[in-house]
Chain A
Amino acid sequence: RKEVEQDPGPFNVPEGATVAFNCTYSNSASQSFFWYRQDCRKEPKLLMSVYSSGNEDGRFTAQLNRASQYISLLIRDSKLSDSATYLCVVPFSGGYNKLIFGAGTRLAVHP
């Protein structure tokens, strides 16, 4: 089993739609989780951190299910500018900023 697994997509949704991505992780000891956004092979940028059961920031909601070892990202009222690849990231349990990235889920929002 991969350390971090994501559905590669693509998810093609119209503007205004609600879309959700799931990510599963293998290390049950992981304490923190992240969603990054990557545009067209540019550098990944931190979108949200998840340290407890969940986190919400405007149209974005991240939820954590420790029992099932998955994290979800919900995007409400999708915008064209949300089109990107969303990377699920779990820190390596070594005590520094070594991150384990999922392969990403592609989202395409169309008019």
Chain B
Amino acid sequence: NAGVMQNPRHLVRRRGQEARLRCSPMKGHSHVYWYRQLPEEGLKFMVYLQKENIIDESGMPKERFSAEFPKEGPSILRIQQVVRGDSAAYFCASSPPGQGFEKLFFGSGTQLSVL
């Protein structure tokens, strides 16, 4: 049973480009969470999605950031017109429905570097 899969592992973008980060949850998991970790800081919640629904996006910046979790395929975190301050590690986590925190598993993350 594969874990939470994120790709790419490293992503380099120039200012103004778009970044697309992908997350495939563990088999049987229908809940996906995105977190961002800036250098020397803890992980910060961004968004919580279920299939085809955004449940909580209170941690998402108001502009340039969007997330989706379609019926088929991985969850996508999209950052438009990236700026240097977007450079961070982006972690995805998944859990099955109705389960506690011990059933929350993180992917290896995508390290985004904006030049």
Residues of A within 8 A of B (CB): 4, 8, 32, 34, 41-46, 49, 87, 91-92, 94, 96-104
Contact = CB atoms under 8 A, between A and B. Distances in A.
Main secondary structure of the interface of B (DSSP, over half): strand
A32 B102 CA distance: 11
Interface of B: 31, 33, 35, 37, 40-45, 48, 55-56, 89, 91, 93, 95, 101-102, 104, 106-109, 111
Main secondary structure of the interface of A (DSSP, over half): loop
Contacts of A103: 40-42
Closest 4 CB pairs of A and B: A101-B42, A43-B106, A103-B42, A101-B43
B91 A44 contact: yes
Contact of B95 (A44, A92, A97): A97
Contacts, number: 59
B95 to A, nearest CB: 5
Given A4-B42, A41-B109, A92-B45, 14 more contacts: A8-B40, A42-B108, A43-B91, A43-B107, A44-B91, A46-B102, A46-B104, A49-B101, A87-B43, A97-B33, A97-B48, A97-B93, A99-B35, A99-B43
A32 B101 contact: yes
Contacts of B107: 43
A6 B44 CA distance: 15
Contacts of B101: 32, 34, 46, 49, 91, 97, 99
B57 to A, nearest CB: 11
B56 A44 contact: no
Contact of B42 (A43, A45, A87, A92): A87
Nearest to A102: B42
Contacts of B42: 4, 87, 101-104
